[in-house]
Structure 1
Amino acid sequence: MIRITKIFTFETAHVLYNYDGKCKNMHGHSYKLFVTVKGNPINDLENPKNGMVVDFGDIKKIVKEEIIDVWDHAVLINALSPHKELGEDLEQKGHKVIYCNFQPTCENMLYEISVKVKNRLPNHVQLAYLKLHETENSYGEWVAEENI
């Protein structure tokens, strides 16, 4: 079994409803996402992906379409909270708003990323690990073995 990792960066703002610290105000982060998948390298001379678990470009395409293109330079808002009105106001003023059915913390973003990436991976490849840096020295991790 081999693990391979691709790293992504994106800029996203969020608002944490009912949070009791200074991050209760809308603010943004330069996120750094590590996506690790695992599988056995393809062993077929006729396959253009011979020797690869999966093409790094395929991982890039999945994450770009499911996460980066959607969340980059957007504001994540919990649609189940009163902040939905804030989101609607921002949208009317031309801002890109993503409504979540969860509090948009690093932890919950990892859950959402895991679902979106797993649903798009080829059958012979498994999502093994995610790490999402919210800041240079603060991050969350999602580990497949702990989420069965």
Structure 2
Amino acid sequence: MSNIRITKQFSFETGHALYGYDGKCKNVHGHSYRLDVTVIGQPIADTSNVKYGMVIDFGDLKKIVKEEIVDVFDHATVFNKNTPHVELANELKNRGHNVILADYQPTSEMMVIDFAQKIKKRLPETIQLHSLKLQETATSYAEWFASDND
């Protein structure tokens, strides 16, 4: 049986600030992110299985990514918890804002690494995460490939 890649696209709005950065992104701002999640596996060959012919049900993949990424990051503001931004984060939290204090600088590069780790933990054993593409703007994105990280 052939290995097939399946991709599902997601979108969410997230704010962030890059502490210590020497450009405009040191300020709190937001992006309309688009995340492409590609998994690889073999279509189910068991004709009695309700998922016969699928690598993974798109709905099952959607549930994983929605719970791990979209529902968490959508309309949240992400700060590196190891910076003075933690004071601003706590003030926003106290005012009812959705704030994430990450263990990393919230760049697209670091976010896509975080997302890969979270998604991989939830996939069935027969399915492998192949790649992620996190698009921050119309012209800028970060990609993660399993083949680069084995």
Tell me the TM-score normalized by structure 1. 0.99
Alignment gaps of 5+ in structure 2: none
Alpha-carbon distance in structure 2 between the residues aligned to 1:22 and 1:99: 20
1:85 equivalent in alignment to 2:87: yes
Q: Residue 120 of structure 1 is aligned with which of 119, 122, 130?
A: 122
Hey, what's the Cα distance between the residues in 1 that align with 2:13 and 2:98? 12
Aligned to 1:47, what secondary structure does the other structure show? Answer: coil
Aligned position for 1:19:
21
Distance 1:17 1:78 in 2: 8
* 2:138 partner amino acid: E
Tell me, what secondary structure is at the counterpart of 1:44?
A: coil
For this pair of structures, how many residues does the alignment match? 148
Aligned to 1:45: 47
Question: 2:109 maps to what in 1?
Answer: 107
Unpaired segments ≥5 residues, structure 1: none
Q: What is the CA distance between 1:86 and its match in structure 2?
A: 0.8
The equivalent of 1:129 in structure 2 is 131
RMSD, aligned α-carbons: 0.5
Q: Name the residue aligned to 2:63.
A: 61
Match of 2:34 among 32, 35, 40: 32
* Cα distance in 2 between the residues matched to 1:21 and 1:115: 29
Instruction: Point out 4+ residue stretches in structure 1 off by more than 2 angstroms.
Output: none
Q: Percent identity?
A: 59
Cα offset, 1:82, TM superposition: 1.1
Counterpart Cα distance in 2 of 1:125 and 1:22: 40
Q: Given residue 5 of structure 1, which amino acid in structure 2 is its aligned partner?
A: T
Q: Post-superposition shift, 1:131?
A: 0.3
